[in-house]
């Protein structure tokens, strides 16, 4: 048996375009909500959690619905095509609505005030750079005062933008309504896209297939990050994003076009079914003891399951609080280009997959996850000490460490959950895993946003993420079950990760 790599790569274009969309969405929507509409971080966090709320309800529905569909193009392809086209149209329309709000800010002179404040800060920072590098305490104090003045100016402009929003709330209402349509469009085909690779790949090869799919998704995300650097999305907080989004949508449609003209879902699914029979890979009949009532978990196993799920929720709260608002923090607080630091994190994660799999095969999943938690918490902790006067290059090794830590955790956590599944309950336990992760991603931006408003983003951003990742170490430390016996694996099997 050999995996058809070409076929898997072509199927992976569905993941490619999905990842491209979410990379752009997570980057610019928080900036629009905070800077253009002036929304507090708490409210912005609520809006940013909508996609996860929809996912909890819609992903199972459309996944099951696609199971029952039968067309000449297959079961999943119609959802992918229609959902992508709808998402592209609504995403572009979203930026036009934002343009109306931006016009009101321009009329009020807000971008001009921002540019003047930024120019003044840049001049002071440049004039003091040599003295600060030499350790001059007076220069450092002056630079700190300039940073605080610039931060206060940006906060005042955000409050002014909110006043404009409240004076004419129609653009915000239209933006939220269109945002819902964008998110619904994406939710209609995420599960069908996830199900397509197993549909056309025999069971023993699905780990390798999942590795290729994950890499295709990463490629889509990195491509959009590069696009963000080209359009300088982190340089001007009052920019019009329409052309950037058009470029992102062009990437999505290119991926969709390749998918439509190359993927033969029905033919490939039929071939997979025939290969399954030919190779004798049909599921064994369910034992009588499992066909009626499922064997319950022991008390120790149930405790471990709950601790694993608690760990998943905790590290997702910490991680998502960073990723969902990093574009805002990097742009508004640090004055960094967020695009390249995220590219570094993703590249480091990709490089880490194979070594992580090898390590887990030698020492076990639990110990590997605990190591990953230490790496991720360390990266976030270091982030607390990065200021606007820190050179942006310092952020690169920090995010590389975070990418490696997250890959180490993510590759091994899902298998620990399904390892505890009994009989034919793998799907049920998969639901447990995604319920924990999605619920955490609903809570994270809301809870962290409230603390940003209460205490200040500069002082809470990395501290919040660090704390919750550390909490996950405590719960994972006491897990006793769900770790398969370490054994040697092939490189690609190790790479396959959490979604197999």
pLDDT at res. 191: 77
pLDDT at res. 208: 61
Nearest to 32 by CA among 225, 172, 231: 172
CA 297 remoteness from chain centre:
32
CA 3 remoteness from chain centre:
28
Q: From 1.20.1250, 3.40.120, 1.10.3470, 3.80.10, which CATH number describes the 1-279 domain?
A: 1.20.1250
CA gap 67, 350 in Å, rounded: 31
pLDDT at res. 284: 42
Instruction: Give pLDDT < 50 ranges for the chain.
Output: 283-293, 423-427, 486-500
pLDDT at res. 346: 82
pLDDT at res. 292: 43
The alpha-helical segments, DSSP class H, found in 108-169 are: 110-133, 137-167
pTM for the predicted model, two decimal places: 0.72
What is the CATH T-level fold of the domain 299-500, as seen in this structure? Growth Hormone; Chain: A; (1.20.1250)
**Where exactly does CATH 1.20.1250.20 map onto the chain?**
299-500
CA gap 329, 380 in Å, rounded: 13
pLDDT at res. 491: 39
The alpha-helical segments, DSSP class H, found in 200-293 are: 206-231, 242-262, 265-278, 288-291
pLDDT at res. 357: 64
pLDDT at res. 185: 95
CA gap 180, 54 in Å, rounded: 9
Nearest to 313 by CA among 433, 486, 452: 433
pLDDT at res. 436: 84
**Taking the C-alpha atoms of 137, 141, 143 and 149 in order, what is their torsion angle to the nearest 10 degrees?**
180
């Amino acid at each position: 048996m050999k995996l058809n790599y070409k076929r898997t790569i072509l199927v992976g274009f569905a993941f490619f375009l999905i990842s491209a969309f979410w990379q752009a969405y997570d980057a610019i929507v928080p900036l629009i909500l905070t800077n253009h509409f002036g929304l507090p971080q708490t409210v912005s966090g609520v809006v940013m959690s909508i996609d996860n709320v929809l996912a909890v309800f819609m992903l199972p529905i459309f996944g099951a619905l696609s199971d029952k569909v039968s067309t000449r193009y297959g079961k999943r392809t119609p959802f992918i095509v229609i959902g992508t086209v709808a998402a592209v149209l609504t995403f572009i329309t979203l930026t036009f609505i934002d343009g109306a709000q931006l016009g009101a800010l321009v009329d009020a002179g807000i971008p001009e005030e921002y540019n003047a404040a930024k120019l003044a800060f840049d001049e002071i920072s440049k004039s003091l750079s040599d003295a600060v590098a030499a350790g001059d305490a007076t220069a450092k104090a002056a630079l700190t005062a300039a940073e605080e003045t610039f931060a206060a100016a940006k906060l005042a402009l955000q409050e002014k933008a909110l006043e404009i929003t409240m004076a004419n709330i129609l653009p915000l209402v239209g933006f939220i309504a269109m945002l819902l349509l964008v998110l619904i469009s994406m939710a209609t085909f995420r599960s069908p896209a996830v199900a397509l690779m197993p549909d056309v790949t025999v069971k023993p090869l699905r780990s390798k297939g999942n590795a290729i799919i994950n890499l295709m998704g990463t490629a889509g995300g990195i491509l959009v990050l590069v696009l963000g650097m080209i359009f300088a999305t982190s340089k001007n907080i009052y920019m019009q994003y329409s052309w950037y989004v058009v470029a992102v949508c062009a990437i999505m449609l290119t991926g969709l076009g390749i998918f439509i003209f190359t993927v033969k879902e029905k033919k490939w699914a039929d071939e997979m079914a025939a290969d399954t029979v030919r190779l004798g890979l049909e599921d064994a009949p369910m034992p009588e003891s499992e066909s009626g009532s499922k064997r319950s978990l022991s008390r120790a196993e149930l405790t471990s399951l709950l601790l694993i799920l608690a760990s998943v929720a905790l590290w997702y709260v910490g991680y998502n609080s960073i990723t969902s608002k990093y574009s805002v923090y990097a742009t508004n607080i640090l004055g960094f280009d967020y695009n390249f630091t995220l590219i570094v994190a993703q590249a480091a994660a990709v490089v880490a997959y194979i070594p992580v799999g090898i390590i887990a095969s030698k020492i076990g999943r639990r110990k590997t996850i605990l190591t990953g938690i230490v790496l991720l918490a360390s990266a976030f902790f270091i982030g607390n000490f990065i200021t606007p006067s820190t050179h942006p290059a310092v952020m690169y090794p920090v995010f590389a460490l975070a990418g490696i830590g997250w890959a180490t955790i993510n590759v091994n956590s899902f298998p620990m959950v399904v390892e505890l599944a009994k009989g034919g309950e793998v799907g049920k336990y998969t639901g447990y895993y995604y319920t924990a992760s999605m619920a955490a991603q609903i809570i994270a931006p809301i809870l962290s946003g409230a603390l940003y408003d209460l205490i200040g983003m500069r002082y809470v951003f990395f501290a919040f993420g660090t704390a919750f990742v550390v909490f996950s170490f405590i719960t994972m430390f006491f897990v006793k079950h769900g770790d398969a016996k370490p054994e040697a694996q092939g490189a690609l099997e190790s790479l396959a990760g959490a979604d197999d």
